[in-house]
Structure 1
């Protein structure tokens, strides 16, 4: 994670500068096209700077070089990676469907929901960042058979995400005269934003918690649970409800967001039940050892104590 931090310290300011020059500058400004180009430059720079950091840092000594043995037991990798991809794609495609749906209700509602979506994504980034650390922390503690500390790490992350969501909710709900003018001064778009604001506030808390619950399951190697939960909650629940409320109940963009919020809350409920009522944390150590045996073939591992 340190490599990513140092890379972003360099890339983030450059991204702001590129956006200003390519979007608003009197000579090089290209408007919306410039924003796209700035994003492409940033996304291209991230892996380049990360590779440079890895090559120059002392961490490079921990890599033994290319070896075909690294491709052995790839089935274990795919067993974890594919559900993770499904989880991320299921959530993001669900949000993107909002844009397609809102496009049927005119430019003002489309612009309003785009602004709300961008605001929700910004707030959720805090929980996503917290979730990355949570996954690594819980995974390491489970591998070391420190069950109590693993549970504490998960509970602290949930509490922090809830606090972030509540503070964001208060700001979005009561300080709209501060943050809405950053995006627009169009009164029609502002009206649409304020219509969507109550549902968005509810989504701020639930979506952040969703990211943390998913990270806890990821740290336990239970990506399949998150993937199945997301697929069912988003596409068997959220999308049909959104379409019904938006088009048949004539709630339009508000209906789209309300349906999505119901799906996210359902996902939260399922993951909470699974994490706090279904999982046997002592058994997670045994499952971790099984995964290690599958990954390392004939390598033997002594089973640690699970009484921590």
Structure 2
């Protein structure tokens, strides 16, 4: 698709080995949400604290070691090993901690309310896929300008992955706290948790942007000694630093949207932001008459990221009726409570609706 034969061949080799660790990585993410939903936020942190130094050692041993080193193919192998380690360690944590108490065992009862689950899960996947696919398409476009541009883009993506983690972690914590507060009928606590999370996200984002902007001319040297790669990386860093705060806020506010059960709305906001604004504008600026190449791709991506971020924040800050969200949450819980017959299902729904307002009155005044 326009890449050099060497880039295409190495990409295929990398993916064939990386796929060994794809399933445990997915399972680890699911288990991480399982414990976070119980308010256990430290489990995945401890797992990563153990795996990170092992990953560093394996990366050196499998790539650079004179005895065990495999060269390029050692990098995806080290990643696959780390994925399996994270999975097994988190399973062990769950088995040996109170988190196992939330596991009811394997049963066909898990299929009850499955459509309610997928009604939330599929839009959530679409919401994330819209943004990530746009970023990956920018990498694809960068590869068409040669290996130097692709290498510089990889350096920028490494910066993006690092700076995205803290806002995303705040978003995960906010999703748990807001979701639990709504389920308890505490609309004021849910609202304040959202506002505090957004404020923290901006503080973290601005600090990261400042650090990237100040140290942009050094960033490329972490990954390459090639003067052209470092120079292009230094040229691109200011564009990324300008948009990084909003990119982090996307991950944070997406967590709040998931807690509200508004994944469908998030997906509807993501699609036009990235696929009507970011990608067409970026590819026009990069490959059109202006010929800005990778800079044009990043300018288009910046427009989409900022539009998506501001639209979600405006919705959370100005459009959410938190008392109504409590009512919707309690009704959703009633629908998913697995009544044994249609008659009892109807009684439960009516009972839930009649008690919803009293729950809001009881808890709505609490912080």
Kindly indicate whether residue 157 of structure 2 is the aligned counterpart of residue 117 of structure 1. yes
Q: 1:288 to 1:182 in 2, by over 3 A?
A: same
Q: Which residue does 1:58 correspond to in 2?
A: 98
The answer as to whether partners of 2:195 and 2:317 remain within 8 angstroms in 1 is no
Equivalence for 1:293:
334
Looking at structure 1, the residues matched to 107 and 192 of structure 2 have their Cα atoms a distance apart, in angstroms, of: 38
Deviation at 1:32, TM superposition (A): 2.0
- Written as runs of structure 1 = structure 2, the 5 A alignment for 1:121-132 is 121-132=161-172
Deviations 1:176-214 (A, max 9, x none): 354332122221111111221221011211101111111
- Structure 1 residues without counterparts, runs of 5 or longer: none
User: Residue 320 of structure 2 is aligned with which of 265, 269, 279?
Assistant: 279
CA distance in 2 between counterparts of 1:294 and 1:26 reads 60
Aligned counterpart in structure 1 of residue 182 of structure 2, from 132, 142, 149: 142
8 Å Cα contact 2:216/2:238 also seen in 1: no
Q: Which residue of 1 aligns with 2:309?
A: 268
> Which residue pairs with 2:252 in the alignment?
212
* CA displacement at 1:136 relative to structure 2: 0.5
Residue 69 (structure 1) aligns with: 109
Partner of 2:18: none
- Name the SS of the counterpart of 2:106 in structure 1: coil
Report SS of the residue matched to 2:185: coil
C-alpha RMSD of matched pairs (Å)? 1.6
User: Alignment length, in residue pairs?
Assistant: 308
Worse-matched range after superposition: 266-275 or 2-11 = 2-11
**2: CA distance, partners of 1:64 / 1:100:** 44
TM, length-normalised to structure 2: 0.80
Question: What whole-Å deviation, never above 9, does each CA across 1:198-255 have from its counterpart, x for those lacking one?
Answer: 2101121110111111111111111111111112211111111111010112010011
Tell me, in whole angstroms, the C-alpha distance in 2 between the residues paired with 1:20 and 1:214: 35
Deviation of 1:28 after TM superposition, in Å, equals 1.1
Question: Which runs of 5 or more structure 2 residues have no equivalent in the other structure?
Answer: 1-40, 340-344
Query: Which position in structure 2 is the counterpart of 1:151?
Result: 191
Q: Secondary structure at the match of 2:144?
A: helix
> Separation in 2 of the partners of 1:181 and 1:2?
33
CA distance in 1, matches of 2:252, 2:96: 33
Aligned position for 2:127: 87
Query: Can you list the C-alpha shifts for 1:29-87, whole angstroms capped at 9, x where unaligned?
Result: 12221111011111222222222222222332342322211211101100111111112
Deviations 1:82-112 (A, max 9, x none): 1111122222111111111011112211111
Give 2:266's aligned residue: 226
